[in-house]
Structure 1
Amino acid sequence: MAGLEGVEQPRQRMGATAAKWAPTVEDERALKAVELFGNPAEEVVRLPSRPESAATARRLAQSVAQRQWMLPLQCSENVVLLVSELVGNAVRHTGARIFGLRMRRPRPCWVRVEVQDPSRGLPCLMPVQPLDVSGRGLFLVDKLSDRWGVDLLPRGKTTWFELRVAER
């Protein structure tokens, strides 16, 4: 590198967290998440209530939506985004140590995603202003899903959304 002697160059770090994004890398991470935590399309997957669990939940949702159910790209991206929003709410607002993630196909043209937590506090859809930097989670769920809601349980609740899936 002629002419750059004495100028500090940025270091290239190679590691799991610094790896560049690529579809194949994300695919591998999604498969690894299913291997480690289970398949939310087959059973309720229990995850620790920590911020990094949102990434795990996204990977699980991606694996089910794209590989198992082979949903159209836009639909699978919406599923992944909305899973992230519901998980983020469960982690931030419930005080839970663990939450559950479940994905189902109740009917051929529908996807249902459920996030269970031990809190009976109800989520609240707040008005969103253009410059708001937070509080958009349920707004996105409301706008992108066909329907959503909360089922109270004897100990806790299930917050869910459903998306209609176009036939291929």
Structure 2
Amino acid sequence: MAGLEGTEQPRRHGSATAARWSPAVEDERALKALELFGNPTEAEVPLPSRPESAATARRLAQVVVLRQWGLSPKMTEDAVLLVSELVGNAVRHTGARVFGLRMRRRRGWIRIEVRDPSRGLPCLMPVQETDVSGRGLFLVDKLSDRWGVDLLPRGKTTWFEMRVADR
């Protein structure tokens, strides 16, 4: 066809798109993220301050919370969502080049932390049904048992904690 060289051909619905995402593919990506970036339960994992790091942080949370800690799918889903919100805030609002991700578990609790070099405090804003942004801390406030910010000499750590049943 003349004039179409180099243009993207339309994709067929179905197999080409469906092959891109599946639980097995997502598990593989999560394990690859763990291999590439490190385990946030062992030490703080530095991640580049780019929007795609939210996906990496979600994958790390998925593999840690679900596989290593063996928590329920619902708790994993909530933790993954909240990690994404904290990472999104660090990427959008801090001007950092890198931020740190850390996940801890102690008797009855999990704690997930995002450290960045900004001392600007996050602000919990009232949320309306029609709002298209600004819901991040609202979700953290609603889905976690507690959350907060620890100011550091150079930056801050924003964290949330969730109660878990110990086996």
TM-score by length of 1: 0.89
What secondary structure is seen at the aligned counterpart in 1 of 2:35? Answer: helix
1:108 and 1:90 map into 2 onto residues whose CA distance is 28
Map 1:137-152; keep pairs closer than 5 Å: 137-152=136-151
Letter in 1 for 2:156: K
The residue aligned with 2:154 is: 155
1:89-146 deviations in whole A, cap 9, x for unaligned?
00000000000000001x2210000000000000000000000000000000000000
Q: Are residue 65 (structure 1) and residue 68 (structure 2) matched?
A: no
The corresponding residue for 1:50 is 50
Q: Which amino acid aligns with 2:162?
A: L
Hey, what does 1:128 align to over in structure 2? 127
Alignment of 1:10-159 (within 5 A): 10-12=10-12, 19-105=19-105, 107-159=106-158
1:104 partner SS: strand
Aligned equivalents of 1:44 and 1:139: distance in 2?
Answer: 25
Distance in 1 between residues matched to 2:47 and 2:146, nearest whole Å: 25
Taking the aligned partners of 1:87 and 1:154, their CA distance within structure 2 comes to 20
Please tell me the residue identity of whatever aligns with 1:21. W
Residue 73 of structure 2 aligns to which amino acid in structure 1? L
Q: Secondary structure at the match of 2:47?
A: strand
Cα distance in 2 for partners of 1:21, 1:66 equals 19
Q: Which amino acid aligns with 1:59?
A: R
| TM-aligned CA deviation for residue 19 of structure 1 | 4.0
TM-score normalised by structure 2 residue count: 0.89
Three-state SS of the structure 1 residue aligned to 2:148 is: strand
Give the distance between the partners of 1:121 and 1:99, measured in 2 at CA.
14
State the distance in 1 between where 2:114 and 2:60 align: 13
Q: What letter matches 2:54 in structure 1?
A: A
CA RMSD, aligned part only?
1.9
Give, in angstroms, the shift of residue 166 of structure 1: 2.6
- In structure 2, the residue corresponding to 1:99 is in which secondary structure? strand
Residue 10 of structure 1 and its aligned partner are, at CA, apart by 4.4
Aligned length: 158
